[in-house]
Structures are given as structure tokens and as C-alpha cells.
Structure 1
Amino acid sequence: MGKEILMIVGDFGEDYETMVPYQALEMVGHDVDAVCPEKEAGETVKTAIHDFRGDQTYLEERGHNFEVTATFADVDPADYDALVVPGGRAPEYLRTYDEVLAAVRHFFEADKPVAALCHGPQILAAAGVLDGYEMTAYPAVRPEVEAAGCSWVDGVTVDDNLVTGQAWPDHPEWLAAFLDLLGTEIEAGEPAVADD
């Protein structure tokens, strides 16, 4: 049975870190509500694509328009089984919204699964929920999450209800760990082949 999952998104969140988890979770039968403060269902956020080309930091280019599927003001975190917090530049401003921080705190207080990637842990740090966790994030965010009381690990990490990864190249392992935490069972079947 699919879970109800809340995803907090915003303008210039990382494109792959927003689109891929949203589509993958829906593909395996979960219902995902993507929400953004001050946005109504049906409106869009602009995404950014972060590419790693050997520079000291990532290169950022304009991504896609990603449709918000629910209105943040109308959702109750208690109605959801899990939370996804993508990275990109959005977390640096999303963490300034009291309602975002309150929603994040709900998932930790209720010990519900949370998946955060890249810069997403900036929101968790601002919500004050990281003390005592072992986790990772985009390496440039390491000082923030350590200051919030966590222990740093390189690579995808699962600690209690929290699954973290460093960036979109971690998707296979990060999403697999989150699906495991959700108790998702995927049955392998024979692929359908069209007759000529």
C-alpha cells in the first residue's frame, strides 16, 4: 500500500533532486504532494540544474518548471507518512518560513521517515532537529549541519528515521535507502515486449 509523502520544494531547487524523487516515488505507488510556501496547487516553481564539471563548486543552469501539486497552507503534516526535502538553492530561503520549520519538526517528533539531499539539510538544521544524528549533505553544508549537532559521514547515510545524501549522483543509493525505510516492496516482473 502506497504512503502519503510530503515534498517541500521552492524556486531554484535542484531539478534532478526535485523531479527524480517525485517521479520515482509516484512510480512505485506512493502519493506525493509537492508544496511550496506562498504557492497554490497548479502553480510552478523554477528549478536549477547543478552540474559537476571539475570546478571548485557546481555550475548552475536554468532547469524546468515544476508543478506544485498541493497548497502548502492547506496541508497538515499529520496526514503524511514521510517527508522529502530536495536540495538546490531553495532551502536557503525556505528555512526562513516558520510553517516550513514547523512541518519539518512534526516529522521528527513523530519519528516518521525523512529523506534530505544536498542543501536540503539546511532546512533541517534551521528547524533544530539534527542534534545527535549521523548524516551527510552537500559538502559545503557540512559546517551548518555539524553546528546543528550532527556527526558528519561521507556518502548516503541512514540514521533512525533520516536518510541523507550529498547530491543527485547519490539518487540510486539514497532512493533505495528511503524506499527501504518506507517499507516499499517492489515486485520484479517480466518486461512487456510488443509483438512485431
Structure 2
Amino acid sequence: MAAKRILLLVGDFAEDYEVMVPFQALQMVGHQVDAICPGKAKGEKVKTAIHDFQGDQTYTEKPGHEFALNATFKDIKAADYDALVIAGGRAPEYLRLDPEVIALVRHFADENKPLAAICHGAQVLAAAEVIEGRSISAYPACAPEVRLAGGTYADIAIDGAETDGNLVTGPAWPAHPAWLAQFLEVLGTRITL
């Protein structure tokens, strides 16, 4: 299996684990991962947020790490990449307003390339209008957006993941083992023990 070139779309206040874990795990198995953020260049940083489930009516949020980008958004060409990963957290709520982000997501959907989103990343998928007729998992608060965009909200366990063709989604960072395993399968990555 040849290594894949993967884009990781992030932004300020993306969820810390949803940036760090896929960035490191996908590199660990040999893929090239280029982390990008609109309006920022290679070497600049995004601030992340740590979201936790502590028994409140919603998640709590604390400051996370600063994450250094290793590619420049305006310099990348979607056609040069095999797959796209969209991190969750608060970043998707404003990233989905950027027409260049929408065009990027549509490229991967139109070309049927592997596309993964976790947590609030579904907000970007919905805004790009690429989930109609698809089964999509997301953070439960995003369920109305999934349905309004014509998708079927997959109400799965917080540590589960949903694959519908080239699209792999999960509800939040506790899903990383299932979400990343399913994404690797869609990528064609084989890991043997």
C-alpha cells in the first residue's frame, strides 16, 4: 500500500484530541498529513480547546495546546491529496462560512475520495451540501443540521463510528479507535500484527 497524502482541516478552538490524535496516528502508519487552516500559513499555530464530558448538560471547554500548521491553506491543491479529515470543536462553526473551505470539501465528495469528519466537523459537511441521502454521525447537538442538510443522523454510541461509502464520521473524540480504524479501511491501509 502506498502512503496517502491527507489534508487535515483545523481552525482556532478545534478540539485538541480531534486535531492531535488523527494528525499523529495517520503519520504513525506512514501517511503524509498536511494540517491547514484558512488565513494561516505553515509554521503558524491554531489554539485548540479540550472538551470533556463531566456530567453537565453539555461538554466543558478548557484551553488546549497550540498546534503548529505544517502547510499553508492558500498553497495547497485539493487534487494533489488523497483524503480529507475535518477536526471538530468550535472551529467548524466558522470554517463552514469560508467559500474556499466549502469548495475543498466538495472536491473530495465529488471525486469520491476518502473524507472523515468527527464531532462538529459535520457542520462543515452540511454547509458543503455533501451529505444528502448519507448516514452521518456527529456530536448529538449537530443532529438537526445533519437532518436539515438531507442526511440521516446516525445516533450511535459516543465511542462508535459510521461509514457510508467514502465518508467516515464519529460523534466525538472517544470514537477515535473506531473512527480511525474505519477511515484506515476506506483509505485501503492494512495493518497486520
TM-score range, shorter chain: over 0.9
Q: Hey, what does 2:48 align to over in structure 1?
A: 47
Return the offset for 1:186. 1.6
Q: Which runs of 4+ in 1 moved over 2 A?
A: none
CA distance in 2, matches of 1:56, 1:149: 27
Please show how residues 94-173 of structure 1 align to structure 2 within 5 Å. 94-155=95-156, 156-173=161-178
Q: Hey, what does 2:186 align to over in structure 1?
A: 181
Structure 1 portions without partners, runs of 5+: 189-196
| SS of match in other structure, 1:158 | strand
Q: Hey, what does 1:194 align to over in structure 2?
A: none
Q: Hey, what does 1:191 align to over in structure 2?
A: none
Structure 2 portions without partners, runs of 5+: none
Once structures 1 and 2 are overlaid, which stretch shifts more, 53-62 or 151-160?
Answer: 151-160
Q: TM-score, normalised by structure 1?
A: 0.95
| SS of match in other structure, 2:120 | coil
Q: Which residue identity lines up with residue 61 of structure 2 in the other structure? A: E
Q: Hey, what does 2:17 align to over in structure 1?
A: 16
CA distance in 1, matches of 2:122, 2:186: 18
Q: Which residue identity lines up with residue 89 of structure 2 in the other structure? A: G
Q: Hey, what does 1:193 align to over in structure 2?
A: none
CA distance in 2, matches of 1:154, 1:68: 33
CA distance in 2, matches of 1:103, 1:157: 22
Structure with the greater alpha carbon radius of gyration: 1
2:90 is equivalent to residue 89 of structure 1: yes
Q: TM-score, normalised by structure 2?
A: 0.96
CA distance in 2, matches of 1:153, 1:162: 13
Identity across the alignment (%): 62
Return the offset for 1:153. 1.2
Return the offset for 1:187. 3.0
The Cα RMSD (Å) is: 0.6
Q: Deviations over 1:105-138 (max 9, x none)?
A: 0000000000100000101111111111011100
Return the offset for 1:86. 0.8
Q: Hey, what does 2:27 align to over in structure 1?
A: 26
